[in-house]
Amino acid sequence: NAGVTQTPKFQVLKTGQSMTLQCAQDMNHNSMYWYRQDPGMGLRLIYYSASEGTTDKGEVPNGYNVSRLNKREFSLRLESAAPSQTSVYFCASSEREIEQFFGPGTRLTVL
Amino acid sequence: AQTVTQSQPEMSVQEAETVTLSCTYDTSESDYYLFWYKQPPSRQMILVIRQEAYKQQNATENRFSVNFQKAAKSFSLKISDSQLGDAAMYFCALSGGYQKVTFGIGTKLQVIP
């Protein structure tokens, strides 16, 4: 089992460009999450999906959109990247509140 | 809203010694889970230990144990016999209603040989 996978691992964008971060899990979890991690801020929730077909905003949703394509996949889209979106992005999945399983992260730099 | 506070940005410990990382939290939920996650330089988030709020007994996992004080809303992590591989960022986290997890800002642990 691969657990939670994320692509790409690294990305550099110019201001105004768009991109989609992909996430997939093979643990049959209902819930999936997108976080961003910034120095001194911990992990902050961008969006989450409690089940296939549903998505909800987290703490910092502005500038992002998500799609829960199916039970396995949960993508995060930046429509018009800004330097303030330079961060490390983590996808996670869970079944109930017991534990979240994290992907390896994507380091995104917006110039 | 739920909050998690880690007031120690950095800690250091001598190899083989014991260190305690502090965490306080606030939530209006009666049922919740508390976690400590470890993030080594590889960036991978790894669950260290989990505590269910309804359990009075403190969780332990080998060299890792917690001191859960529900009334004080305190959840500290004790690492015994510290090893070089324990050097990492440690995040305290709270899972309350609707499966939302709130993380603290982290404590960077240095292990001195």
Chain A interface mutation, best of B42, B100, B107, highest count of A Cβ atoms under 10 Å: B100
Assess whether pLDDT exceeds 90 at residue A22. Answer: yes
In chain A, what residues touch B101 (CB-CB under 8 Å)? 33, 45, 97, 100
Residue A110, helix vs strand vs coil: strand
Q: What is the CA radius of gyration of chain B?
A: 13
* pLDDT per position as a tens digit, B5-18: 999 999 999 999 99
List the structure tokens of A93: 């999945």
For residues B111 and B87, the answer to whether their CB atoms sit within 8 Å is: yes
Give the pLDDT confidence score for residue B98 in this predicted structure.
62
Hey, are the CB atoms on A58 and B100 less than 8 Å from each other? yes
Q: Which residues pair with B74 in a beta bridge?
A: B24, B69
CB nearest B50 (choices: A40, A58, A99): A99
Average pLDDT over residues A29-53: 92
Q: Which of A14-23, B39-48, B93-102 has the highest mean pLDDT?
A: A14-23
Hey, are the CB atoms on B95 and A97 less than 8 Å from each other? yes
Residue A96's pLDDT band, with cuts at 50, 70 and 90, is: confident
Helix residue ranges per DSSP H, A1-111: none
Q: Residues 81..100 of B with a Cβ closer than 8 Å to A: which?
A: 91, 95-96, 98-100
With b for 16 or more beta-carbon neighbours within 10 A and e for fewer, the A65-102 pattern comes to ebebeebbbbbbebeebeeebbbebbbbbbeebebbbb
Look-up of token digits 């080998």: B62
| Angstroms from B49 CA to nearest CA on chain A | 10
Closest CA to A72 of A24, A7, A4, A31: A24
In chain B, what residues touch A92 (CB-CB under 8 Å)? 45
